[in-house]
Amino acid sequence: MRRFISGPRIVPVEVKAHRFLELDSLRGMGASAVFLGHFALICNATGWFDRIDRSPLRVVIAGHEAVMLFFILSGFVLSIPLTRERAPSYGLFLLKRFCRLYLPYAAAILIAAICDLYLYSTTPTGDMFIDHTWSTRPTLALIAGHLLTTTRSTTQLNVAIWSLLYEIRVSMVFPLLLWLVRRLRPAILLAVCAVLSGGLPLIRHGNFMMSFFISPTYVALFACGILLWLHLSEVTSFLARIGRRGRGTILLLSLVCLLGPHVLILWSGRPAPQTVLQLQDYVIGAGAAGIMACAIQPGRFRDFLHLPILVRIGALSYSIYLVHPTVLFVLIRLFYGKFPFYYLWPVYLVGVYIVSEIFHRFVDQPSVMLGRRVGKRQKSREPASAEA
């Protein structure tokens, strides 16, 4: 496997200094946008939601854009160990991803299934977002489909897990993707993915193996993260040369790319064609990559992202992402329709934080530590096996 992903070793000074706390904070802000966006969807009958959704304040509830950022972040972070001099074997890479990604995912699914068992409702509310979740009694087949990542009912137990299915599946082929990115010209690779995303009816109309199992659009976003890592020294040198005002301009343009496509579609007043919806994620991805590059560069933006509260939210980001739908639908099944739902905003906010802290302490953090212990044991065995 090391030979398979071999290439020029890239170890920027930043990696030696720390573990990119600013990117952890960005992930935390993205997770916050997702859980705030889901609550806002329940309150979408009020005028304030539409005004926020059409303005730059959409960044606070930009859940879809946050997920695109997550894919690029994953491509960036997963590339780091695989491009080091002592890259992990493919088996060790998968084992650590299993501990880091899948174990908390499985725990969140089981928790959601238990809550669904006691709180599900078959009575329609008229809100499509609500009526597609916890609307049937959970079956063993449904739970098994989620645990095996083969389900297509991605909203029935946990509305946030659809992106994690892509994360898990792309992780299985990530070393191959890294190998391809290193050997193909970036423009050719991204162009092929764009054509596949927007041009093939087979993909657009829901073929399982293509549009669901492995989406060209999301693979391209992982590839963008890889490219940012591979060319990080050139990117940081460029940002250093253009100065603070130049970096501010890049950051502003990146925010426009991140939020602009959705806002433009809303202001047009017409539904966008499916092809446009597929290709807009590339613009969003470019904006997310620009924000990441500016975040890594020393300056006020990175200093802001190093604030302790943002770093803590970053540490809780995966837990927040996994458990917030369960907290939300517990509140929905207990209180929706009894009074204006936005009254529960403080309860939701505090509830997500408390449950995320508990989940992080007893599920997420132990899974990370398990992956690290497994990695250390495997590395300690490698010299002996090589000598044998």
Q: pLDDT tens-digit profile of 82-105?
A: 998 888 899 999 999 999 999 999
Structural domain contains residue 60: yes
Question: Is residue 359 a part of any domain in this protein?
Answer: no
The token duo for 229 is: 């890592």
Rg of the Cα atoms in the chain: 21
219 CB contacts (<8 Å, ≥6 apart)? 170, 177, 193
Question: Residue 336, SS3?
Answer: strand
Q: Could you tell me the CA-to-CA distances from 121 to 45, 125, 216, 322, 341 in Å, in that order?
A: 22, 10, 36, 22, 17
**Does residue 295 lie within any of the structural domains?**
yes
Residues 226 and 7: their CA atoms lie apart, in Å, by: 13
The answer to whether position 246 is within a domain reads yes
| Residue 159 in tokens | 């509305």
**Residue 3 domain flag:** no
Q: In total, how many domains does the chain have?
A: 1
Taking a C-beta distance cutoff of 8 angstroms, is the pair 7, 178 a contact? no
Residue 362 falls within a domain, yes or no?
A: no
For residue 334, is it within any domain? yes
- Give the integer Cα–Cα distance in Å for 205 and 278: 12
247: its two tokens: 């970096």
Write out residues in the chain with pLDDT < 50, as ranges. 1-18, 200-212, 383-388
Measured distance CA(306)–CA(309) in Å, rounded: 8
Name the residue range of residue 116's domain: 13-346
User: Shortest CA distance to 179 belongs to which of 231, 213, 223?
Assistant: 223
How far apart, in whole angstroms, are the C-alpha atoms of residue 48 and residue 54? 10
CB 327 within 8 Å of CB 348: yes
- Residue 103 corresponds to which tokens in the numbers above? 């174990």
The predicted pLDDT at position 43 comes to 81
By the 8 A CB rule, do 76 and 229 touch?
Answer: yes
Provide the pLDDT for residue 210: 41
Beta bridge partners of 339: 336
- What pLDDT is recorded for position 275? 65
What is the pLDDT at residue 375?
Answer: 72
Which residues have C-beta within 8 Å of that of residue 40, sequence separation ≥ 6? Answer: 49, 52, 53, 61
- CA 136 remoteness from chain centre: 27
Angle 259-264-266 from CA coordinates, rounded to 5°:
105
Query: Residue 17 falls within a domain, yes or no?
Result: yes
Q: Which two tokens stand for residue 183?
A: 């050997």
Question: Which stretch of DSSP H or E encloses residue 346?
Answer: helix 345-359
The Cα–Cα gap between 216 and 218 comes to: 6
The answer to whether 100 touches 369, Cβ cutoff 8 Å, is no
Cα–Cα distances in Å, from 354 out to 61, 252, 294?
A: 20, 34, 32
pTM for this model (two decimals): 0.88
Give the per-residue pLDDT at 274: 64
